[in-house]
A and B are shown apart, each in its own frame.
Chain A
Amino acid sequence: MSAGPGQGAVPHHDVASYALGVLGEQEATHFETHLAACDACARELESFLPVVDLLSDVRPTVDLPPRSAQPPGDDLGRRRARRSERRTPRPTAGARGLPATVGRAAGSALRRPAVAAAVAAVVAAGVTAGVTGAFGTVREGGRSAAAAGVTTSTPWDRLRGPDLATGQRLAASDPATGVHADLVLDSAPWGTRVTFAVSHVAGPQTCRLVAVRRDGGTEVLSTWLVPADGYGTSAQPQPLVLQAATALDRRDIARLRVESVAASGVHDLVAVSA
């Protein structure tokens, strides 16, 4: 067997590292040797996979309390990029060319190429293994599903950008107006990028997005028109998704408000604490 570390000892504890994909190549292979003969580890692995699945959607600097001095913003971007770099070569070699649109959740945008490569490898292997005949239709179905990018469960699926992977997500619904807003705030060297989606909003009306600073001042980030059908309504089920930029530092934004603007005055549709 491979002369990797952990040799000799019964590597039951390796199952967690294996599930997370943080064993080295040799060690992973070594563990698989053990796994083939160890039912306990196989069951353990299976029960860990859903946890790993969820963990992939947790963002370290946003979701975890700051324990040590961790510079915000760009540092996260850099680390994410590094993670994606490191993981790219790990899944089987020789896999390129599958578009990075495979997959669905915007949260994993930076990791997608690695996984796409792995799936491409799997697909290539499947084809060379002589998958024909009755399986042909299955393959077709798979191809269209993968190519389409599939299942939208959040408004962000229709937008792709680096901010969606690393930004902070906020959401709020106003019980009085019923208007719902989803936002992603992303720090940049030049300020803050705000990606936002508005739904359950009726038309026709003119709206705007306002940032409220910590010092109480306000800044209009965007204005738009809601057509008669509205957005995120039965007549127009899609939410309106827009992006705005502001020079404000992320930490200086206290709240964001969607307002309705009319000759008679301005009133709040929904407010989101930042």
Chain B
Amino acid sequence: MFAFVLRLTSGDWQRAEDVVQETLLRAWRNADRLGGPAHPSVRPWLVTVARRIVIDEHRWTRARPQEALGQDLDVLAEGDHADRVLQIMTLTEGLRTLSPAHREILVETYMEGRTVAEAAERLGVPLGTAKSRVFYALAALRTALAEKGVSQ
């Protein structure tokens, strides 16, 4: 993660350290949420939060009160239980309406715990094709959620 942040801060080592530390603090504060079903892979979450911190620092030039930190995590937060059940139903419906190839790639990768490269080999399709299917499958699900107006 440090290498990633260092790139965001254009090589400013000190700032990168600050950002990493702040990111880890937020992760710690949200350990319960991260430990839930929300984030099977914590890495994309950390990277996203780190990037937001860098952007916020730009915007406020470091003059922000401590309390404001962490608010932006709401985007990744869950609503109440009923909301979530509704969203899962919408998502399930979205999965049903995906093309077979798109549904298949999600099952072969995410659902069955394979990397996209492993899935491509099993399915006998080029890696680029497999990745592209993952992309359009996930984009279709995102659209399904947005259309139902149940996405945030």
Contacts and interface: CB of A to CB of B under 8 A. Distances in A.
Interface of A: 5-6, 9, 11, 13-24, 27-29, 32-33, 35-37, 42, 45-58, 60, 63-65, 67, 79, 82-87, 90-91, 102-105, 107-108, 111-112, 114-116, 118-119, 122-123, 125-126, 129, 131, 134-135, 138-139, 141-142, 145-146, 149-151, 153-154
B53 interface: no
Contacts of A24: 115, 117
Given A32-B4, A118-B42, A139-B28, A17 B134 contact: yes
Contact of B40 (A13, A52, A64): A52
Nearest to A15: B135
B41 to A, nearest CB: 3
Given A58-B92, A142-B31, A16 B135 contact: yes
Contacts of B128: 6, 9, 13
Contacts of B66: 134
A122 B48 contact: no
A40 to B, nearest CB: 13
B48 A135 contact: no
A126 B8 CA distance: 20
A102 B113 contact: no
Interface in B102-143: 103-104, 106-107, 109-117, 119, 127-128, 131-132, 134-135, 137-139, 141-142
A32 B114 contact: no
B38 A123 contact: no
Contact of A102 (B17, B32, B43, B75): B32
Nearest to A134: B66
Contacts of B38: 53, 56
B88 to A, nearest CB: 5
B27 A119 contact: yes
Contact of A60 (B43, B111, B114): B111
Interface in B17-43: 17, 20-21, 24-25, 27-29, 31-32, 34-43
Nearest to B127: A5
B5 to A, nearest CB: 8
Chain B contact surface mostly: helix
User: In which size bucket is the chain B interface?
Assistant: 35 or more
Interface of B: 3-4, 7-8, 17, 20-21, 24-25, 27-29, 31-32, 34-48, 51, 66, 75-76, 78, 80-81, 84, 87-88, 91-92, 95-96, 100, 103-104, 106-107, 109-117, 119, 127-128, 131-132, 134-135, 137-139, 141-142, 145, 151-152
B112 A82 contact: yes
Nearest to B9: A36
B44 to A, nearest CB: 5
Given A5-B117, A16-B135, A54 B91 contact: yes
Contacts of A51: 91, 138, 141-142, 145
B64 to A, nearest CB: 15
A57 B127 CA distance: 27
Contact of B28 (A5, A17, A47, A122): A122
B24 A111 contact: no
Nearest to B92: A63
12 contacts: A11-B131, A21-B40, A45-B47, A50-B145, A60-B112, A83-B111, A103-B35, A103-B37, A122-B27, A126-B24, A138-B25, A138-B29
Nearest to A85: B113
